[in-house]
Amino acid sequence: MFQFPKSLGLAQLPTPIQRLQRFSQNLEGPDIFLKRDDLTGTLLTGNKVRKLDFLLAEAQQKKCDVVITCGGNQSNHARTTAVAAAQLGMKCHLVLKNKANLPSDGNLLIDKLVGASTQYISAEEYKRVDEIMLEAADQLKSEGLSPYIIPEGGSNALGTIGYIKAAEEITLQLQRLKTRIHKIVVAVGSGGTYAGLLIGKYLFDLQAEIYGFNVCDDKNFFTNKIFELIKEIQIQQHLNVKIQKSDINIIDGYVGKGYALSSQAEIDMIKKVAAVEGIVLDPVYTGKAMLGLVDKIKTGVFKHGENILFIHTGGVFGLFPKKSLFF
Ligand SMILES: Cc1ncc(COP(=O)(O)O)c(C=O)c1O
């Protein structure tokens, strides 16, 4: 049996699974269920806290007192890291891709409220963000601090274990609910959530195919990235699950206008789910993935008679800077 490393228990778990009855009925396709990972916490909402539970446990074991991470200016991962660090009494330094002087709205407002320091770099500089984080770490060391660096999205081998654990949680919940899920659907931004679920599927015999909708880059990029991540985890955790590249199902075609850019169809989908179910998706990840799912229901990839589990990975704060697009 897989020995999970130490985790901190910051996420409120298990998150519920609920059926989207009215939304599914409207679609006349499969039954859609939601895994409410948007309920992992209020300020800690979303998938990233499951990764941070393992990453920050290691940071504490190593006696680090400042966390460094990176992301876009509305990064959910950066916000979750900043909040978790504050809850643990650690400092947090964020390296953010920013067009300069953006208002403190959404995730950025929370980053600042919980006291994270922010360093803004251009999109060009962001290409060497790992190096820039190392430079920031050197600076903090010279000030007598002990930094712990977390890569973009928390998607390294240790962070990904958060979603291996989520796959175990889902397996146990479905047994309890006596519900069969045929397909799991998740948004893919840095690949860790998908990679963890796929490993967990094999470890815990979760009888469902896992589909990822990429919200940036393309199918080829993520198939390779997820495969490399899976290999890294297998080595680090001495796992031997036989996963081939062909087991990775990435559905491309729903990046829309580009990463973090919203199309009218995506905005309309978020409004529809909110009005019909009282559930708010986010504009960068889950809104795009839900649009993709509904479109693929129309083309028969997801069929009537199947049960689909859509992972709501959070991201609600990303809505606020985009409010003018909605009404
Ligand atoms: C709300 C939300 N959903 C989905 C994702 C994608 O997860 P991953 O980066 O593990 O692919 C992210 C982060 O990138 C996110 O913030």
In tens, the pLDDT along 167-226 reads 999 999 999 999 999 999 999 999 999 999 999 999 999 999 999 999 999 999 999 999
- Is 7 catalytic? The answer is no
Spatial separation of the C-alpha atoms in residues 69 and 136, rounded to whole Å: 10
Whole-prediction pTM value? 0.97
| Residue from 75, 190, 262, 263 carrying the catalytic annotation | 75
Give the largest CA-CA distance in the chain: 61
Spatial separation of the C-alpha atoms in residues 24 and 241, rounded to whole Å: 34
| Residue 107 near ligand 1, beta carbon < 6 Å | no
Question: What percentage of residues in the chain have a pLDDT greater than 70?
Answer: 100
Distance 294 CA to ligand 1 centre (A): 19
Task: Please report, as a single letter, which amino acid is at residue 131.
Answer: E
pLDDT of residue 98: 85
Question: For residue 212, which atom of ligand 1 is closest to its CA?
Answer: 11
pLDDT per position as a tens digit, 215-235: 999 999 999 999 999 999 999
Do the beta carbons of residue 323 and residue 103 sit within 8 Å?
Answer: no
Q: Which residues neighbour 96 within 8 Å (Cβ) at sequence distance 6 or greater?
A: 70, 71, 72, 73, 75, 78, 108, 118, 119, 120, 121
Task: Annotate 129-157 with b (16+ C-beta within 10 A) or e (fewer).
Answer: beebbeebbeebeeeeeebbbbbbbbbbb
Q: Report residue 153 as tokens.
A: 């999205």
Do the beta carbons of residue 93 and residue 120 sit within 8 Å?
Answer: no
Do the beta carbons of residue 67 and residue 89 sit within 8 Å?
Answer: no
Question: For residue 188, which atom of ligand 1 is closest to its CA?
Answer: 11
Do the beta carbons of residue 222 and residue 188 sit within 8 Å?
Answer: yes
Q: How far is residue 1 CA from its own chain's centroid?
A: 26
Do the beta carbons of residue 277 and residue 23 sit within 8 Å?
Answer: yes
Distance 173 CA to ligand 1 centre (A): 22
Angle, helices 286-298 vs 264-277, to 10°: value is: 90
pLDDT of residue 28: 86
pLDDT per position as a tens digit, 89-133: 999 999 999 877 788 999 999 999 999 999 999 999 999 999 999
| Residue 76 near ligand 1, beta carbon < 6 Å | yes
Do the beta carbons of residue 65 and residue 92 sit within 8 Å?
Answer: no
pLDDT of residue 101: 75
Q: What angle do CA 82, 7, 85 make, to 5 degrees?
A: 15
